[in-house]
Amino acid sequence: MILESVSRLREAFDYLTLLPLATADGLLRSIQPLLKLSPTLRDGLVIVLRKAIFSRYQVTLVHPSPPIDSI
């Protein structure tokens, strides 16, 4: 039944880089078992992640740590 929604999941991947870190992490962890069952879903995720790596517009998901004061 879930594999019938592959197109919707692939659409959600397009917004992966815009999600807060905890949400993106939860999404990726929840679909991990499905990636083994669906090569189409896995390939779609790989494409989205590759696009994100080479995108000119980069959204940082991790907040930088505050500057360290002099020791």
Query: What is the predicted pLDDT for the residue at 1?
Result: 58
pLDDT (tens digit, 9 = 90+) per residue, 18-58? Answer: 888 899 889 899 989 988 888 888 998 999 888 888 876 65
Tell me the C-alpha distance between 1 and 6, whole Å. Answer: 10
Do 35 and 6 touch, CB atoms closer than 8 A?
Answer: no
Q: Look up residue 50 and give its two tokens.
A: 């590759």
| Prediction pTM value | 0.66
Tell me the C-alpha distance between 62 and 56, whole Å. Answer: 18
Q: How confident is the model at residue 61 (pLDDT cuts 50, 70, 90)?
A: low
Tell me the C-alpha distance between 31 and 40, whole Å. Answer: 13
